[in-house]
Chains A and B, each alone.
Chain A
């Protein structure tokens, strides 16, 4: 009798503990986490189910996870192990990153930051370069205008600001892809 009571208590505690763990897993897994449903056929053992979930996860990452590489100053967004090109961007060019990572809210926020900083950095950096060149041309032509050094200094300052913002945009791009890959079904 004591053994039966003990076993009953153990079973109850085990079920409760497992159920709580399951609920916690589902609540902390995030919006885009897809819990792999149990197979319909009840004769399929559960341990292989976990293996299948892991394999599906790896397959999903292999097929869908994004990364970015650069080519002659342009950004190339690449998907999966095969390296499929899904977007290109660069100075003043939109990668449509927001559409690519729309399924992940954190990634979307970083994608917006990327596009904002990239545009500002590109614009100010380009204006700075043009201003510097104008200043250099004026200086080379022996112009005594006081504006020449101001143009060069202002232009270089704008270029530095622009490069910093482009740099910040790449960090945001890296974070966007990190979050997107994180939120792939796993």
Chain B
């Protein structure tokens, strides 16, 4: 009789155990899944339903995203692409803006050679396009990194 009851006890645990595991998975996503939001020109990586701020990326400041998404290999690979492209992209785009300012300034001077503002404008455009491209690559890699991180939460 006692064996029967023990078997019943174990059987009940196994039978009703499934949905409880699913709850833990849901809780994990609700509490830990990341997303990217923008605020006043900054990018913020927030966590969970409450939107807890875990990282801020702005201008020439960034954060170690690879460390943040460390449990997931795919996410880390994408985070490394982000780290590789973000700061160079920011600096090159910043240099492009400064060059554009110089071009506008040079064009205001009457006795300056016309090739100088033209050259500066072309250089500024090139820098902005290249820097913008690097930044776009970085942001897309960040989006993929967060996607993979959230995907691997459920494992």
Q: What is the interface of chain A, defined by CB distance below 8 A to chain B?
A: 3-4, 7-8, 10-11, 14-15, 18-19, 21-22, 24-26, 28-30, 33, 35-36, 38, 45-47, 49-50, 53-54, 57-58, 61-62, 65, 67-72, 81, 164, 167-168, 170-171, 174-175, 177-178, 181-182, 186
Contact = CB atoms under 8 A, between A and B. Distances in A.
Nearest to A52: B18
Given A46-B14, A65-B147, A174 B35 contact: yes
Interface in B95-153: 136, 139-140, 143-144, 146-147, 150-151
Contacts of B1: 4
Interface of B: 1-2, 5-6, 8-9, 12-23, 25-26, 29-30, 33, 35-41, 136, 139-140, 143-144, 146-147, 150-151, 154-155
B38 A171 contact: yes
A33 B23 CA distance: 10
Given A21-B16, A35-B18, A71-B136, 8 more contacts: A3-B2, A7-B5, A15-B8, A26-B19, A61-B150, A170-B37, A178-B150, A181-B150
Given A22-B20, A67-B143, A70-B140, A4 B2 contact: yes
A18 B12 contact: yes
| Chain B binding surface, main DSSP class | helix
B57 to A, nearest CB: 14
Interface centre among A19, A38, A58, A178 (most CB of B within 10 A): A178
Contacts of A68: 143
B56 to A, nearest CB: 14
A161 to B, nearest CB: 13
The 8 A-B pairs at the shortest CB distance, nearest first, are namely A18-B16, A25-B23, A171-B37, A25-B19, A7-B5, A69-B140, A46-B14, A67-B147
A148 B34 CA distance: 46
B99 to A, nearest CB: 20
